[in-house]
């Protein structure tokens, strides 16, 4: 899919590491220039360096995408630098697993703000430019946890189910302007989120060793292995190409068969 997205400008939120970084690199490999957002500056700069090595332009914007002022400034900078925004990937997200009796109001609110309000703010901020150009592709990160609940995941699943409702409704709002809005629902990916947060929490909730968690999750996947960042990037690139022009409001599983509904 080399160069199929040449001339397109993408914003990817939370692109400093993990899935967001993988998506940013997949888009760049396909020819897009990329606005690399993250709350953490140093990792965003790492991603930008890799994009430069691919021969594409990038703009690093450190911003907390749950904050309206920072989001609006990010979009203004992107438009000043590139003149248009064709693609928005709402990827930034957090997970803090906890039993309902241990889940604080602060964790609930922060989860909703980073995983859901950020999508509202970023989509609202880019919509006028996309509507004016009568072209746009918005891809929102839900999860297999956006289709099925899970132990210790009340806040995370509520936010990811919310992403799907948001995606469907935004697809209605923007369809008259030629803008496609879809969600992707990846299964388990062993990103820094896993290593830093989920592995230990899941070991506690499953009452197994931390070194057993990865095999435990892989054993539940029909294809028998985790998804790669490249496999997620491939689906996102497809959703940004003309080949997927009749798809909007969808929530696409990338779960190796673990989630089929």
Ligand X SMILES: NC(=O)c1ccc[n+]([C@@H]2O[C@H](COP(=O)([O-])OP(=O)(O)OC[C@H]3O[C@@H](n4cnc5c(N)ncnc54)[C@H](O)[C@@H]3O)[C@@H](O)[C@H]2O)c1
Residue 174 or 232 with smaller CB distance to ligand X: 232
Residue 4 or 62 with smaller CB distance to ligand X: 62
What is the enclosing helix (H) or strand (E) of 58? strand 58-62
What minimum distance in Å lies between the beta carbon of 114 and ligand X?
A: 4
What minimum distance in Å lies between the beta carbon of 191 and ligand X?
A: 3
Active site annotation includes 156: yes
What residues line the site for ligand X (CB under 6 A)?
13-14, 16-20, 37-40, 43, 64-66, 91-95, 114, 141, 143, 186, 188-189, 191-194
What minimum distance in Å lies between the beta carbon of 127 and ligand X?
A: 19
Residue 49 three-state SS:
helix
Q: 88: which residues sit within 8 A by CB, 6+ positions away?
A: 10, 11, 122, 123, 126, 130, 136, 137, 138, 139
Residue 20 or 97 with smaller CB distance to ligand X: 20
What minimum distance in Å lies between the beta carbon of 213 and ligand X?
A: 12
Instruction: List beta partners, residue 138.
Output: 88, 181
What is the C-alpha to C-alpha distance for residues 249 and 84, in angstroms, rounded to an integer?
23
First vs last Cα of the chain: how many Å apart? 28
Could you tell me the strand order of the sheet in which 87-90 lies? 58-62, 33-38, 9-12, 87-90, 136-141, 179-186, 251-254
CA 2 from chain center: how many Å?
22
What is the C-alpha to C-alpha distance for residues 106 and 102, in angstroms, rounded to an integer?
11
What minimum distance in Å lies between the beta carbon of 189 and ligand X?
A: 4
Residue 19 or 155 with smaller CB distance to ligand X: 19
What is the C-alpha to C-alpha distance for residues 4 and 9, in angstroms, rounded to an integer?
12
Residue 16 or 136 with smaller CB distance to ligand X: 16
Placement of tokens 């899935």 in the chain: 19
Active site positions, annotated: 156
């Amino acid at each position: 899919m080399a160069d199929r997205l040449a001339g397109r400008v993408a914003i990817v939120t939370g692109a400093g590491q993990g899935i967001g970084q993988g998506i940013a690199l997949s888009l760049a490999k396909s020819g897009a220039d990329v606005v690399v957002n993250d709350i953490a500056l140093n990792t965003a700069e790492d991603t930008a360096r890799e994009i430069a090595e691919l021969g594409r332009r990038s703009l690093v914007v450190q911003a907390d995408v749950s904050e309206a002022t920072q989001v609006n400034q990010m979009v203004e900078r992107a438009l000043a630098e590139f003149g248009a925004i064709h693609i928005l990937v709402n990827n930034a997200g957090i997970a803090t697993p906890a039993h309902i009796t241990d889940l604080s109001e602060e964790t609930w609110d922060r989860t909703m703000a980073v995983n859901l309000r950020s999508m509202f703010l970023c989509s609202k901020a880019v919509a006028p430019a996309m509507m004016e150009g009568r072209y746009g592709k918005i891809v929102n990160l839900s999860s297999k946890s956006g289709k099925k609940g899970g132990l210790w995941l009340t806040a995370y699943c509520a936010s990811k189910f919310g992403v799907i409702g948001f995606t469907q409704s935004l697809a209605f709002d923007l369809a008259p302007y030629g803008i496609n809005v879809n969600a992707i629902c990846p299964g388990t990916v062993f990103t820094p989120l896993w290593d830093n947060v989920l592995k230990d929490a899941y070991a506690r909730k499953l009452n197994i060793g931390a070194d057993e968690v990865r095999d435990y999750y892989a054993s539940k996947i029909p294809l028998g292995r985790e998804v790669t960042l490249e496999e997620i990037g491939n689906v996102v690139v497809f959703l940004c190409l003309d080949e997927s022009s009749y798809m909007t409001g969808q929530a696409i599983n990338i779960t190796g068969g673990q989630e089929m509904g």
